[in-house]
Structure 1
Amino acid sequence: MLNPRIKLRHLQAFLELAKRRSFVRAAESLAITQPALSKAIRELEDNLGTALFDRGPRGVSLNQAGLTLLRHAGPALRTLDEGLTAIGEVSGRERWVRVGALSTVESRLVPLAIERLHARFDDIGVRVDSGPSAYLLSRLRGGELDLVVGRMTAAREIGDLAFEHLYYEPLVVAVRTGHPLAGDTPPTLARLVDYPWILPPPQTTLRQQLDSFCVQHGLRPPERRVETLSLAISRRYVLDGEALWIAPREAIDEDVAAGRLTLLDVGLERQGGSVGLCLNASMQPTLALEAFCEALREVAGER
């Protein structure tokens, strides 16, 4: 039974502070004063008999007790919100699926799955957020997303979340057609560092794979490099210049088929990493979520 001294405002304050990691930013987001937020957190910690955050000069971070509460409080409040929403629903009201999409699936899998979903259901909306796996998985664990799609099995943050494999996606190296390295079969690895690189940012699972390849072959990424997960920026930069684009195969397939980009046979990955969908097992799936997951499975199965 829920402690009667713990109120909804306590949990809302806790979740916002866990997300923002700053009393100032959390208070602004909740539209309350910082003293009011501090009081709510203090009351919650007093009622639970334990601290939930470690305070430091750079803000706050969850301790083990805070992480445990986060694992349950986020999905619980989301379930409560869904129940309240369901009571007020009228026939034909829109339903939503909140999707976290990694760069590995932004070009083909997710857009095609949305198209297939909307061909069957005209009352389901889809909100898509992109970003690194650590960021998206933390939002899934907190109940802010319904699922995360992409290549993420190497992410430490996946923890106790439920992952379903869909297919393997290799990391490849591409250049514009006509690039000086395009005619080398295979190119000399030492020549790769003579040109700019477009590569995933540090701390991403894709970057970890690239760093491992570089260590194995004694390569060091050049100083002239762009670190980004933006497909639009990467594509424009590689098509207009001499850069090498290290990216998931799905991101460059369309340009390769059209003859605009050429793959370099450097053996970065053969099979590739596991692309799939990740769910929070503690959250009850909605019919809209189940419909979108089925669309993802169908599109992946047709690859």
Structure 2
Amino acid sequence: MLSYEQVAWARRLKIRHLESFLVLDEAGTLTEAAVRMHMTQSAISHWLSDLEELVGMPLVTRGRRIQLTAAGVIMKRLAVSVLGDISRTQLELGAVAEGRTARLHIGSVWAGVARGVPQALAQFQALHPHISVTVSESPFGHLLEGLANKQLDVVVGSLDARAHHPRLQHRELFEDNVCLVVGRASRFWDAAGPVRLADLLQERWIMPPKGTLMRSQLDTALLDSGVPWLLPKVETAAITTLQALVHQGDYVGVCSQAMAEYQAALGTLRILPLDRAIRFGPVGVVWSRDNAAEAVQLFVEHITRSVDRPAPQTLSHL
């Protein structure tokens, strides 16, 4: 049990302290933070000084741009956690006021949206009609940030090293590949035989952003094929942008096999047959260990049971 001395410093802590501190960290300067908070610069400085006095040590180093000290990093973690809980509580109270007893925030990458999430979600809500659900689509890194600041409850994404953080739990759903797709404006729309990556050097590429797992796996495959580097015409994490562009010009797009198969079945895209498979890796469901909400556990159990796990195929055989 915590002693009085351990929590005494926080008894004077106010939400305004934490809110001002987070805004200051994001803004980088007192002037910009004051603008965002609709306060004077002296007022922001007062809240910061007051917080540092409560903590008993400097939280920032003052210069051209403010930098967090080691203590400041710790306080930022507290601020994100507390304000995230407050935001979640407000939404839950609103749900209760509207007659809804639970709310679930789900984030998913393209592959999850294409294979599993919509079907699992429809079945889940048929079983649990009292749970209201919000779904967001984004790259996996952004989704994990949402999980950390408690804006999301569950994430469906690639189970790379980031998913193995001690504060996270995960379950694998299926294996996925990286896939090349084209639209009706492409000269490859009716391609029948396997195409070599090395023969696509001069094509107009639509690629995922740098730093994403899919982009890294594609870059590795290109290197293995003797293509040291390609300059994409477009970088995007939005499947709607990719869909629109491949029908407007002779582009080669990159997406997950799960999404490619889903769009090919609808007739909106066609998979470009390759002479090799490009492994993306496992896709799974991820959630925070400290999130004990019943809705989270129910959804994890349901999507784990309901999502098919076909082995990834060699793309030239699709």
**TM-score, normalised relative to structure 1:** 0.80
Matched residue, 1:74: 80
Provide structure 2 residue ranges, at least 5 long, that are not aligned to the other structure.
Answer: 1-5, 311-318
Are the counterparts in 2 of residues 152 and 158 from structure 1 also a CA contact under 8 Å? no
- Seen in structure 2, the aligned counterparts of structure 1 residues 80 and 237 have a Cα distance that, compared at 3 Å, is closer
Residues 208-260 of structure 1 show CA distances to partners (whole Å, capped at 9, x for unaligned) of 22222223333255445211111111122224432111111121112323554
Which stretch has the larger CA shift, 78-87 or 236-245?
78-87
Residues 263-283 of structure 1 show CA distances to partners (whole Å, capped at 9, x for unaligned) of 32242424x31211222223x
Matched residue, 2:117: 110
Are the counterparts in 1 of residues 197 and 274 from structure 2 also a CA contact under 8 Å? no
2:108 to 101, 122, 130: 101
- Seen in structure 2, the aligned counterparts of structure 1 residues 142 and 42 have a Cα distance that, compared at 3 Å, is farther
Partner-residue secondary structure (3-state), 1:150: strand
Residues 125-163 of structure 1 show CA distances to partners (whole Å, capped at 9, x for unaligned) of 222233232222123212222222211514499564333
Q: How many residues align?
A: 300
In the TM superposition, what is the alpha-carbon distance from 1:201 to its structure 2 partner?
0.6
Matched residue, 1:209: 217
The whole-number CA distance in structure 2 between the counterparts of 1:241 and 1:45 is 57
Would you say 1:40 and 2:47 are equivalent positions?
A: yes
Question: Which structure has the greater CA radius of gyration?
Answer: 2
1:275 to 275, 283, 290: 283
In the TM superposition, what is the alpha-carbon distance from 1:302 to its structure 2 partner?
6.2
In the TM superposition, what is the alpha-carbon distance from 1:26 to its structure 2 partner?
5.3
The whole-number CA distance in structure 1 between the counterparts of 2:90 and 2:245 is 48
Would you say 1:143 and 2:150 are equivalent positions?
A: yes
The one-letter amino acid of 1:255's match is: Q
- Seen in structure 2, the aligned counterparts of structure 1 residues 122 and 49 have a Cα distance that, compared at 3 Å, is same
Matched residue, 1:167: 174
Residues 180-217 of structure 1 show CA distances to partners (whole Å, capped at 9, x for unaligned) of 44536322332212221111011212112222222333
Identity over aligned pairs, percent: 27
- The aligned runs of 1:1-303 (5 Å cut-off) are 1-2=6-7, 3=9, 4-18=11-25, 30=37, 32-53=39-60, 57=64, 60=66, 62-79=68-85, 89=96, 92-155=99-162, 160-176=167-183, 179-181=186-188, 183=191, 185-220=193-228, 222-223=230-231, 225-258=233-266, 260-270=269-279, 272-282=280-290, 284-301=291-308
Which stretch has the larger CA shift, 248-257 or 199-208?
248-257
Which stretch has the larger CA shift, 125-134 or 173-182?
173-182
Which stretch has the larger CA shift, 156-165 or 115-124?
156-165
Q: Once superposed, what is the RMSD of the aligned Cα atoms?
A: 3.4
Are the counterparts in 1 of residues 206 and 242 from structure 2 also a CA contact under 8 Å? yes
- Seen in structure 2, the aligned counterparts of structure 1 residues 210 and 99 have a Cα distance that, compared at 3 Å, is same
The whole-number CA distance in structure 2 between the counterparts of 1:21 and 1:146 is 29
**TM-score, normalised relative to structure 2:** 0.77
Provide structure 1 residue ranges, at least 5 long, that are not aligned to the other structure.
Answer: none
- Seen in structure 2, the aligned counterparts of structure 1 residues 208 and 87 have a Cα distance that, compared at 3 Å, is closer
In the TM superposition, what is the alpha-carbon distance from 1:94 to its structure 2 partner?
4.5
